[in-house]
C-alpha cells in the first residue's frame, strides 16, 4: 500500500485522482474510479444545469459508497454559467470534495470552505499554486506542459514544474500531465508530489463514457499526436492531433481572430465526435501520455496495475539498484 498525505486527507486507498473532464466526468466513470480506491471527479459543467448536476451526483452515489468529488472550472466568459447555483447544488448534495480550476476562484473557495468542503485547485505554475495555497485550498494539482487541456502559457514540463512547486508549496500536491502508469506514480512521488492526477489515461478505459473509436485512437496515437491551439490568444489548449485541429492551427498562425476558427473548435462539435467515435469530427482533448497507452482496461485493472507496478519499482528495482551501487 502506498499511503500519502493525499490519501489520508481525502479518505481514499490509492494516491490517484481522475480529474474533471468535460463530457467524460460522469457517474459511470467516476463511480468506477471510486470503487477502485482512487478519487474521481464529476464535471459540473458537463451537466446542462445545476438541477441535472444534482441528479448526476445522486446517480454516482447509487453506484458507489466511496468518496468522490465534483470539478467546477471557472472560465472568463461574456455569458458565464450560473456558478453560484452549481456551487449550491454541490453543497446541498453533501459533496465534501471539490476540484476547482480556472479564473479567480477565491469566491468559490471561500464558499466551499465555509460549508466544510475540501478543495483541490488545479494550477499550471508555481506562482498560481502559492496563490491558491494562500486562498486556503486544501491541496494543489500542478499541471505540467505535457497535460491535456490547458497547460498554461509558461511551457514548463513536469520534470521541472513538480519539484519546483514541491520546494515551495506546503499543502499536499498532485502531479498532473503525462501520467498513466506505475513508473509515473513513482516518479511523481520522487519529485515531491503525494499522488498523480490522470485524465487521458482514464479516457482509455472500459467505463469511460465515450465511443470505442476514440479510445482506439488514443491507443493508436503516440506522444507526438497532439496540437496546441489558441497560443496566439493566450489560452493554450492541448488536443489530439487531427485534421480539424491542424486546420484550426493553420488559420490561427495566419493571424486570424478566434472567430475564424470558432466553427472548428466549438465544444458541441467535439462532443459529437466523442459520441459518434469519429476522431476527425471535431477537436477533443488528449495529452502526450497517449504514447504510453497501449490498452483499454477496466478502471479497476488500471488502478491495480499502476499500484502494483509502482510498489514493485519501489521495493525491488530501486532497492536492487541502490544495493548494487
- Kindly report, residue by residue over 5-38, the tens digit of the pLDDT: 999 999 999 999 999 999 999 999 999 999 999 9
Q: What is the mean pLDDT of residues 150-176?
A: 98
Contact 149, 73 (CB under 8 A): no
Note if the pTM is more than 0.85. yes
Does position 323 have pLDDT exceeding 80, yes or no? no
Write down the pLDDT at residue 75: 85
Domains in the chain with CATH codes: 5-208 (3.20.20.70)
CA distance linking residue 236 with residue 301, whole number of Å? 33
Write down the pLDDT at residue 239: 98
Write down the pLDDT at residue 104: 86
Does position 41 have pLDDT exceeding 70, yes or no? yes
Residue 36 grid cell: 477502485
Radius of gyration of the chain (CA): 19
Does position 325 have pLDDT exceeding 90, yes or no? no
Rounded mean pLDDT of the chain? 96
Amino acid at each position: 500500500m502506498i499511503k500519502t498525505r493525499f490519501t489520508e486527507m481525502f479518505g481514499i486507498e490509492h494516491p490517484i485522482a481522475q480529474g474533471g473532464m468535460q463530457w467524460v466526468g460522469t457517474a459511470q466513470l467516476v463511480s468506477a474510479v471510486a470503487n477502485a480506491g482512487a478519487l474521481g471527479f464529476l464535471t459540473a459543467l458537463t451537466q446542462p444545469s445545476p438541477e441535472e448536476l444534482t441528479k448526476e451526483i445522486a446517480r454516482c452515489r447509487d453506484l458507489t459508497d466511496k468518496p468522490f468529488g465534483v470539478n467546477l472550472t471557472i472560465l472568463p466568459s461574456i455569458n458565464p454559467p450560473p456558478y453560484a447555483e452549481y456551487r449550491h447544488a454541490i453543497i446541498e448534495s453533501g459533496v465534501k470534495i471539490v476540484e476547482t480550476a480556472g479564473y479567480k476562484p477565491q469566491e468559490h473557495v471561500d464558499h466551499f470552505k465555509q460549508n466544510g468542503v475540501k478543495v483541490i485547485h488545479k494550477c499550471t505554475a508555481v506562482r498560481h499554486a502559492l496563490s491558491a495555497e494562500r486562498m486556503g485550498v486544501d491541496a494543489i494539482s500542478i499541471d505540467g506542459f505535457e497535460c491535456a487541456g490547458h497547460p498554461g502559457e509558461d511551457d514548463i514540463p513536469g520534470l521541472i514544474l513538480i519539484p519546483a512547486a514541491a520546494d515551495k508549496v506546503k499543502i499536499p500536491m498532485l502531479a498532473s500531465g503525462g501520467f498513466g502508469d506505475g513508473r509515473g506514480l513513482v516518479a511523481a512521488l520522487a519529485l515531491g508530489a503525494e499522488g498523480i492526477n490522470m485524465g487521458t489515461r482514464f479516457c482509455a478505459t472500459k467505463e469511460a463514457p465515450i465511443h470505442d473509436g476514440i479510445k482506439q485512437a488514443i491507443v493508436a496515437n503516440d506522444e507526438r499526436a497532439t496540437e496546441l491551439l489558441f497560443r496566439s490568444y493566450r489560452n493554450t489548449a492541448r488536443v489530439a492531433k487531427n485534421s480539424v485541429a491542424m486546420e484550426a492551427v493553420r488559420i490561427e498562425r495566419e493571424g486570424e481572430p478566434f472567430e475564424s476558427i470558432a466553427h472548428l473548435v466549438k465544444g458541441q462539435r467535439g462532443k459529437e465526435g466523442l459520441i459518434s467515435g469519429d476522431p476527425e469530427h471535431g477537436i477533443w482533448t488528449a495529452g502526450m501520455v497517449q504514447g504510453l497507452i497501449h490498452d483499454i482496461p477496466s478502471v479497476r485493472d488500471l488502478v491495480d496495475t499502476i499500484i502494483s507496478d509502482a510498489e514493485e519499482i519501489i521495493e525491488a528495482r530501486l532497492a536492487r539498484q541502490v544495493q548494487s551501487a
